Structure 1
């Protein structure tokens, strides 16, 4: 009886901790947003204060929209992020299903090999990646970034999804096989809907690093037509002078899509994180 009562208590505590963490994490975002609507003098004089009639200014947003092709940078970031997440979830889920469902020689070795990708940063191979992209003619293309980010996110995706897929009932999958369903149909129609919380967790964990990355866009796609939002915002940061109004405005506009995607995935994310804590 006590064990049964502890389940909702654990779930409530986990949800409360997540809400508190979210509020703490969003506080810097709030500071960036309010300062993006203030004059330069007000930013340094009262950074914690809300904009009023005296300090309110849209000069930062005007600068961002006039200098550089901000809409193109935004579009490039959206294409790279959404494309990378699609391939990470698709290939990661397929690999995780194969490793968790089928027993074959080298299964454990393959899982360990994929797990090494979590411990070894992909940036160590930047020179080799650049040479590969040059050889294939993918430099200054969005495909170069999508391929790199897909390779970067696959190890974590396989690691998380394989654990969830092992919990899917074998009776359900065997019933599908008895009914004549193919393995692809079982995977897409029976297994994937049951691991949506895990897929949302993988998407959120990979979305923010991809959206905010500066390293690979600077190396693989620095051309004006392929710049991402993070790389395009660097034009307002100089060695001696920084246009803080434009920087904060650009960051505010860059934060909004991430917040929208986080809200979309938040419910599934919380279910994915708390699923192991309330069993």
Structure 2
């Protein structure tokens, strides 16, 4: 049934309204980063600062070691996403294409990671990292994010692997490909929408997490952005202009990752409906 012109107009109006509501806090954050504290308190909802100046951003790099926070967040997030993508893709390929009596149990084991919040095991995790000598190291965060991100990634990728025709693998094996070559050269390029979804979900989780860096990182030079920005909150006074500048800079990598993987992400969300 075709949608009438009036109905489509209403849909566009509602869509643009939601877009404006969603973008307003982001634009307000960016605008506030160019204001002084006085301007923020006098006109907190204004989108236009009195003058555009980069002085706030320059002071941010002087007041706090923001460069260290930024590099730590990038290192932790990129390494976590890379390990999650590699391990979850191989595990999903095995679960989707090899049928043994323990395959169902193994798949359920991964699903348990979705059912049980990892924060419930904070005490055993703390003891484990201390025994491994990783307490106070960025690798403790990478290991935790990798372990917590694999279950949802395996769940997503296994479903995509199962939708691929088995005839593709049979043709590849006739041409002389082994299991790894079938996985790497034939199937993996076909699940790019799912990989884009996995990358975005896990990158945002690792980038924005505040809980685990607060527990496992004690050195100021190794703090990530969410924990490092806490130094801007004073006991009696907070420099909101510096805080908004830091939030703006910290949001740029997430926006960049989403723009690069947005096409695959959208295809991954709609693949089930199309198939």
Same fold (TM over 0.5): yes
Cα deviation digits, residues 104-148 of structure 1 (max 9, x gap)? 112112111211111211111111111111111111211111110
**1:275 match: secondary structure:** helix
Correspondence for 1:118 among 114, 123, 139: 114
- The normalised TM-score by structure 2 is 0.90
Q: Distance in 1 between matches of 2:116 and 2:264?
A: 28
Which moved further from structure 2: 16-25 or 253-262? Answer: 16-25
Over the residues paired in the alignment, what is the CA RMSD in angstroms? Answer: 2.4
- The normalised TM-score by structure 1 is 0.89
Structure 2: segments with no counterpart, 5+ residues: 4-12
Residue in structure 2 matched with residue 79 of structure 1 by the alignment: 75
CA contact (8 A) 1:73 1:227 kept: yes
Tell me, yes or no, if structure 1 residue 247 matches structure 2 residue 243.
yes
Correspondence for 2:182 among 186, 196, 215: 186
Cα drift, residue 57 of structure 1 = 5.1
CA contact (8 A) 2:33 2:245 kept: yes
User: What is the number of residues matched between the two proteins?
Assistant: 268
CA contact (8 A) 1:59 1:246 kept: no
Matches within 5 A, 1:145-160: 145-160=141-156
Residue in structure 2 matched with residue 132 of structure 1 by the alignment: 128
Q: Distance in 2 between matches of 1:189 and 1:29?
A: 40
CA contact (8 A) 1:39 1:59 kept: no
Q: Distance in 2 between matches of 1:194 and 1:20?
A: 36
Structure 1: segments with no counterpart, 5+ residues: 7-15
Q: Distance in 2 between matches of 1:139 and 1:127?
A: 13
Tell me, yes or no, if structure 1 residue 36 matches structure 2 residue 29.
no
Tell me, yes or no, if structure 1 residue 274 matches structure 2 residue 247.
no
Tell me, yes or no, if structure 1 residue 106 matches structure 2 residue 76.
no
Cα drift, residue 180 of structure 1 = 1.4
Q: Distance in 2 between matches of 1:77 and 1:145?
A: 10
Distance change >3 Å, CA 77–CA 18, structure 1 → 2: farther
Q: Distance in 1 between matches of 2:118 and 2:16?
A: 32
Correspondence for 2:91 among 89, 92, 95: 95
Correspondence for 1:174 among 166, 170, 177: 170
Cα drift, residue 56 of structure 1 = 4.5
Residue in structure 2 matched with residue 67 of structure 1 by the alignment: 63
CA contact (8 A) 2:27 2:47 kept: no
Cα drift, residue 276 of structure 1 = 1.5
Residue in structure 2 matched with residue 26 of structure 1 by the alignment: 23
**1:140 match: secondary structure:** coil
Cα drift, residue 61 of structure 1 = 1.9
Q: Distance in 2 between matches of 1:130 and 1:198?
A: 32
Distance change >3 Å, CA 101–CA 23, structure 1 → 2: farther
Distance change >3 Å, CA 252–CA 149, structure 1 → 2: same
